[in-house]
Amino acid sequence: MTLKSKTALVTGSTSGIGLGVARALAREGADVVINGFGEAGAIEAARAAIESEFGVRAHYSASDMTKPAEIAGMVREAEERFGAVDVLVNNAGIQFVSAIEAFPGDKWEQIIAINLSSAFYAMQAAIPGMKRRGWGRIISTASAHSLVASPYKSAYVAAKHGIAGLTKTAALELATDRITVNCISPGYVWTPLVEAQIPDTMRARGLTKEQVIDDVLLKAQPTKAFVTVDQVAALVLFLCTDAASQITGANLSMDGGWTAQ
Ligand code: NAD
């Protein structure tokens, strides 16, 4: 498969799954727009590495996924710079762990904005160009939490269930436009997002780090192994192939058997 002459935009791609997905798309020849927060030098190093390793163009957008106008601007800028957004990967996401009674309202709003609404606004901006060109792939990083819940993750679980519904709706609306819309639902992938929630879970449940990893995180994952970023990226690449043209509206689990239980 080659994505030469295609452009991909991956939200939340300065680290973790998003960066792995952006690098995989670039390895297949796509020009890529990366997005997200972080230390400026590290982001520039990641962007420049994509260009030098894969011989494609890579652009960094600092757009904030809580701001609809910035999301639309990011898509417009990508189209102006590279001529298209052929592959949109809605991946930006944050987590916050707390009982509902203590869950800060601003954290709820922020998670719904980044993990759910940003995908809606990015789709809204990218779909007209995909329709004009008669081809598109919209792929969102959902989560096992789009299918099942865990305690203390109310906003995250609500947002991820929302992504699964948005995916189905968009797939139906675009079914005859050669644009497929799917989401991928990983179990636990070892990334900074997972690492960062360990201290909160230790506090919320009174556990050691080892207990959080073995008894909370991987408790639900029957294979007792973390999913890898490269495995998620490989599924994104497959969804971009012609072989996947009839996969649309799907919520594809990659969770070591978690949601089979
Ligand atoms: P990560 O923390 O490594 O990456 C998150 C990315 O989102 C970063 O680039 C960050 O800068 C960006 N981001 C955060 N707030 C933003 C904002 N307001 N605007 C723009 N970018 C913003 O996390 P990750 O584990 O790679 O997670 C990526 C996605 O995968 C998320 O949607 C997450 O919910 C999902 N996911 C992760 C796991 C896992 O176990 N790691 C499992 C299932 C689903």
- In tens, the pLDDT along 4-55 reads 999 999 999 999 999 999 999 999 999 999 999 999 999 999 999 999 999 9
Query: Which residues lie below 8 Å from residue 206, measured CB to CB, with a gap of 6+?
Result: none
178 Cα to the center of ligand 1, angstroms: 28
| Of 193, 198, 201, best ligand 1 pocket probe by most atoms within 8 Å of the beta carbon | 193
Contact 12, 93 (CB under 8 A): yes
Strand 87-90 relative to strand 7-10: parallel, antiparallel, unpaired?
parallel
Q: What does pLDDT average to over the chain?
A: 96
Query: What atom of ligand 1 comes closest to residue 189's alpha carbon?
Result: 40
244: confidence class by pLDDT, cuts 50, 70, 90: very high
Query: What atom of ligand 1 comes closest to residue 196's alpha carbon?
Result: 2
Tell me what the mean pLDDT of segment 136-146 comes to: 98
91-130 pLDDT per residue, tens = 999 999 999 999 999 999 999 999 999 999 999 999 999 9
What is the number of helices (H) and of strands (E) in the chain? 9, 7
**SS3 label, residue 88:** strand
The torsion defined by the Cα of 14, 16, 110 and 188, in degrees rounded to 10, comes to: 170
Query: Which residues lie below 8 Å from residue 119, measured CB to CB, with a gap of 6+?
Result: 90, 140, 163, 166
Q: In whole angstroms, give the CA distance from residue 110 to residue 158.
A: 12
What is the DSSP code (8-state) at residue 261?
A: -
Contact 194, 20 (CB under 8 A): no
187 Cα to the center of ligand 1, angstroms: 14
Distances (CA, A) of 74 to 16, 85, 139, 140: 20, 10, 17, 17
47-91 pLDDT per residue, tens = 999 999 999 999 999 999 999 999 999 999 999 999 999 999 999
Among 60, 46, 1, CA closest to 25: 1
**SS3 label, residue 191:** coil
50 Cα to the center of ligand 1, angstroms: 19
Query: Which residues lie below 8 Å from residue 28, measured CB to CB, with a gap of 6+?
Result: 1, 2, 3, 4, 237, 240
Query: What atom of ligand 1 comes closest to residue 160's alpha carbon?
Result: 34
Q: Residue for token digits 């590495």?
A: 49
Q: In whole angstroms, give the CA distance from residue 122 to residue 117.
A: 9
199 Cα to the center of ligand 1, angstroms: 17
pTM for this prediction: 0.95
Tell me the catalytic residues. 156
Tokens for 174? 């675009």
| Of 183, 191, 229, best ligand 1 pocket probe by most atoms within 8 Å of the beta carbon | 191
Query: What atom of ligand 1 comes closest to residue 37's alpha carbon?
Result: 11
Nearest CA to ligand 1 atom 3: 16
Q: In whole angstroms, give the CA distance from residue 227 to residue 256.
A: 7
Angle between helices 118-133 and 154-173 (to 10 degrees): 20
- For residue 194, the model assigns a pLDDT of 81
147-190 pLDDT per residue, tens = 999 999 999 999 999 999 999 999 999 999 999 999 999 999 98
- For residue 1, the model assigns a pLDDT of 64
Q: Residue for token digits 């269930």?
A: 161
Assigned CATH for 7-188+228-254: 3.40.50.720
- For residue 197, the model assigns a pLDDT of 80
Tell me what the mean pLDDT of segment 217-229 comes to: 91
94 Cα to the center of ligand 1, angstroms: 5
Q: In whole angstroms, give the CA distance from residue 123 to residue 102.
A: 33
Q: Residue for token digits 């417009």?
A: 76
Query: Which residues lie below 8 Å from residue 210, measured CB to CB, with a gap of 6+?
Result: none
- For residue 166, the model assigns a pLDDT of 99
Tell me what the mean pLDDT of segment 211-224 comes to: 89
Residues near ligand 1 with C-beta < 6 Å? 12-18, 35-38, 64-66, 91-94, 114-115, 141, 143, 186, 188-189, 191-194
